[in-house]
Amino acid sequence: MRRKLAALLLSSVLLVAAGCGGDDNGDGGDNGAGQPTGPDQVTIGLIPIVDVAPLFLGQQQGFFAERNIELETDFGAGGANLIPGIQSGQLDFGFSNVISLMLAQASGIELKVVSNGNNSTGVQGEDFGSLLVPVDSDVQSAADLEGATIATNTLSNIVETIVRASVRNDGGDPTTLEFVGVPFPEMEAALANGDVDAAFAVEPFQTIIRSNDVGRSVAWSWVDAAPDLTVAVYFTSADTAENNPDLVARFAEAMQESLEYANQNPDQARAILTEYTEITPEVVAELTLPTWPTEINRASSEALAQLAVQDGLLPAPPDLDALYP
């Protein structure tokens, strides 16, 4: 597979164009004479990666329209980057890894999880993200990465926690690791040029890096952190959850149906990827999908929080009762 495949992932396209606006009540608003003006227009912040396929699949299947919701998407580089948009009201909902939300809570930002997002497969050697090193690297396992420089898409976040878990579990010293911020589409070049010793990449970048013989996987850090790890969730502001519970409930219901549908129809989940990214069909066929349970694995979040506290990323355990549904 030619290296040009990676370049195609530098851009993504919006699936849903802005449509008719409406206020945030359950009936989409009216014109003062009791006549509906249209569905509730909801803006959601996402990362253009495989993880969010169920949302687009659910939009395609009409699960949101059935609940009087019209989606508009806004792409960001990482979940942590979307939180300010939720806080300011620019975004109604967002998609983020769970550590980002724990960190936000620790800083005094009040957020509320409304739906599960995606989980690890729980299978060593077959997951939607892994720790990769150059193909000619001397590193054979995570413990060999002591003192290494590792690329992560977002600093001081979930990747640092899970990669340290891999090194620790393998008998290495996780405190010796140095992390540098590298966007997912640039990780292949960083490995090829020797700018970093390793990179944690998710799909489709994991498949591209391996297919181009640039890198090989040495650890499956989602699995190392916790069994069946809930990696990311959909969330909103505490204000929205309190003041617009009907909209939040309808969005959560649509996501539940979308997650279940994606799990039951993996081929359709793969096919929808070409609608909101420019991943080629060749890559789509090869990549490993995450799992999309309808329920959050809270035990895995508790384990992840303990690791984050142990590593000094979180000052104290989060209040999951306040954060989770």
24 & 66 share domain: yes
Tokens for 272?
Answer: 């929808």
Please state, as a whole number, how many other Cβ atoms lie within 10 Å of the Cβ of residue 90: 12
Using pLDDT thresholds of 50, 70 and 90, give the confidence band for residue 33: very low
Q: What is the mean pLDDT of residues 108-123?
A: 97
Q: What is the pLDDT of residue 26?
A: 44
Number of domains present in the structure of the chain: 2
Using pLDDT thresholds of 50, 70 and 90, give the confidence band for residue 227: very high
Of 122 and 27, the one with more pLDDT: 122
The pLDDT > 70 percentage for the chain reads 87
Last residue of a domain, one of 197, 225, 253: 225
104 & 164 share domain: no
Look over the chain and give the mean of its residue pLDDT values, rounded to a whole number.
Answer: 89
Q: Are 125 and 221 in contact (CB under 8 A)?
A: no
CA distance 75 to 278: 14
Q: What is the pLDDT of residues 35-89, one digit of tens each?
A: 456 899 999 999 888 999 999 999 999 999 999 999 999 886 555 678 889 988 9
Residue with tokens 């990747």, as numbered in its chain: 159
Tokens for 203?
Answer: 């799909």
Task: List strand residue ranges (DSSP E) for the chain, in order.
Answer: 40-46, 69-75, 93-97, 111-119, 129-134, 149-152, 178-181, 198-202, 215-219, 230-237
Which CATH number is 54's domain given?
3.40.190.10
The pLDDT > 90 percentage for the chain reads 80
111 & 25 share domain: yes
> Does pLDDT of 146 surpass 60?
yes
Coil, helix or strand for 277? strand
Tokens for 65?
Answer: 């329209």
Please state, as a whole number, how many other Cβ atoms lie within 10 Å of the Cβ of residue 295: 12
36 & 106 share domain: yes
Coil, helix or strand for 130? strand
187 & 307 share domain: no
CA distance 110 to 189: 38
Residue with tokens 């929808």, as numbered in its chain: 272
257 & 313 share domain: yes
11 & 116 share domain: yes
Q: What is the pLDDT of residue 47?
A: 82
14 & 116 share domain: yes
Alpha carbon of residue 79 to chain centroid: 7
34 & 95 share domain: yes
Q: What is the pLDDT of residues 155-183, one digit of tens each?
A: 999 999 999 999 999 999 999 999 999 99
Q: What is the pLDDT of residue 277?
A: 86
Distances, alpha carbon 141 to alpha carbons 165, 188, 217, 220, 298, in Å: 13, 19, 9, 10, 29
109 & 143 share domain: no
The answer for residues whose C-beta is within 8 angstroms of residue 68's C-beta and 6 or more apart is 26, 27, 28, 39, 40, 250
Q: Are 175 and 144 in contact (CB under 8 A)?
A: no
Domain that holds residue 218: 129-225
Alpha carbon of residue 267 to chain centroid: 20
113 & 25 share domain: yes
212 & 282 share domain: no
Last residue of a domain, one of 205, 225, 245: 225
Q: What is the pLDDT of residue 187?
A: 98
204 preceded by a cis bond (ω within 30 of 0) = yes
- Look up the pTM and report it: 0.85
Last residue of a domain, one of 161, 192, 225: 225
